[in-house]
Amino acid sequence: MTRPTTAALIVAAGQGSRMGGVPKQFLRLAEKPLIAHSYDRLAAHSAIEEVLVVIGEGQQAALQDAVGPVRSVVGGAARRDSVRAGLEALAAGKVPDRVLIHDAARPLVPSEVVDRLIAALDAHAGAVPVMAVADTLARDDTVLGETVPRDGLVRVQTPQAFRFAEILDAHRRWPSGKEATDDAQMLRRSGGIVAMVAGDPSLEKITYPADLIAAESRLAGTQRVRSATGYDVHRLVAGEKLWLGGVLIPHDKGLSGHSDADVALHAITDALLGTIAAGDIGSHFPPTDPQWRGADSSMFLRHAAKLIAAEGGTIDFVDLTLICERPKIGPYREAIRSRLADLLRLDPGQVSIKATTTERLGFTGRGEGIAAQAIATVRIP
Ligand code: MG
């Protein structure tokens, strides 16, 4: 039997906000846009083949800035319209067996909850994560009304998981104009059985600014800070281009090496790989492999960043020192900084570029090569 395929749909189509103008899916939680948290976690889950984001009209550029070039579809006015648009887009392609429907407002998705949801679909058409109700519930009659027994009540979270054909059918048959609280209720109304699995406090929804602060401290409490260094040297020779930090710098010599020999990107890549103890650049892209001849080193950097994201990690800071007599780095500092920030999806304030000479001593002093050292700091759950 072939393994069932699973897609994830993230609904991130909100336009306005109670959070001060910026749609909340693009607000930053621990230096990273909200939408990027759930995207990275779902995309990194081994059972999920594809993640599709449903965005609002005109949010393509904001999504690209927040997560990078990922697949998206424009949603509708109500949440139900947005989910429908996402399901139809999936139905038009390689149809998955199962789908997880998630709200971007719940950025922290534990992989154990995803495991439980997917396992529950073996026996049921749908599954939702639930939490017990801890507080006393009472009716709001302007003044305090009767207590509502909380026995038998649960709070329902997302992601909600479904067999794809069944949830698509429930959406297609739902009468237009009729209110729907969520996808699980739509499946229930069309006769599907929805299982409950244990939810997680970290799936709490972010609605108000205070929720963002609570999520930030929840995240900080579970994350470890890791720093690692990287170091690289390449030879300066005539007739080569000089790439430094992803920027082409006019100079009478360039760096030689198997790839484009961007010594700055190599040092940062090694620092990033170091934070997750994932070896070094040579173990991921062997210099003996002809496919990396002349390669654009930004690819190596992106690969390292992707490995960190796959572990649910966040890059906090990157600091680079270039060691050479010439060229002078000062005039290119800001260009390198903004290029690195772009490549790593960071604010320029999270990237520092320094340069020094060695007082004409040694190989850098004689202009025979350029050295680079870097340190990266990340947070890993
Ligand atoms: Mg190198």
14: CA distance to ligand 1 center in Å? 44
Q: Provide the pLDDT confidence category of residue 68 given band limits of 50, 70 and 90.
A: confident
The reply to whether CATH 3.90.550.10 applies to domain 6-222 is: yes
257: CA distance to ligand 1 center in Å? 7
260: CA distance to ligand 1 center in Å? 9
H-type helices in the chain, by residue range? 34-44, 60-67, 79-91, 111-120, 164-173, 183-189, 209-222, 263-275, 281-284, 298-310, 333-344, 362-365
Higher pLDDT, 291 or 167: 167
Q: Where are the domains of the chain?
A: 6-222, 224-380
81: CA distance to ligand 1 center in Å? 50
Q: 369: which 2 tokens? A: 């090569």
pLDDT by residue (tens digit) across 110-169?
Answer: 999 999 999 999 999 999 999 999 889 999 999 999 999 888 899 999 999 999 999 999
Q: Which residues contact 212 (CB under 8 A, 6 or more apart)?
A: 19, 27, 29, 206
Asked if the domains 6-222 and 224-380 are classified in one and the same CATH topology, the answer is: no
180: CA distance to ligand 1 center in Å? 56
264: CA distance to ligand 1 center in Å? 8
Cα 27 versus chain centre, distance: 13
Burial of 376 (0-12, 13-18, 19+ CB in 10 A): buried
309: CA distance to ligand 1 center in Å? 23
Distance, first Cα to last Cα, the chain: 34
Q: Quote the CATH superfamily of domain 224-380.
A: 2-C-methyl-D-erythritol 2,4-cyclodiphosphate synthase (3.30.1330.50)
320: CA distance to ligand 1 center in Å? 14
Q: Which long-range contacts (CB under 8 A, 24 or more apart) does 178-181 make?
A: 180/80
234: CA distance to ligand 1 center in Å? 6
pLDDT by residue (tens digit) across 18-37?
Answer: 666 788 899 888 878 999 99
Alpha carbon distance 295, 340 (integer Å): 17
3-state secondary structure of 340: helix
- Write out the H or E segment, with its range, that includes residue 143: strand 143-148
pLDDT by residue (tens digit) across 180-221?
Answer: 789 999 999 999 999 999 999 989 999 888 899 999 888 888
149: CA distance to ligand 1 center in Å? 66
Residues, CB within 5 angstroms of ligand 1 (ion) = 232, 266
357: CA distance to ligand 1 center in Å? 19
DSSP structure class, residue 3: P
267: CA distance to ligand 1 center in Å? 7
Alpha carbon distance 124, 163 (integer Å): 8
261: CA distance to ligand 1 center in Å? 6
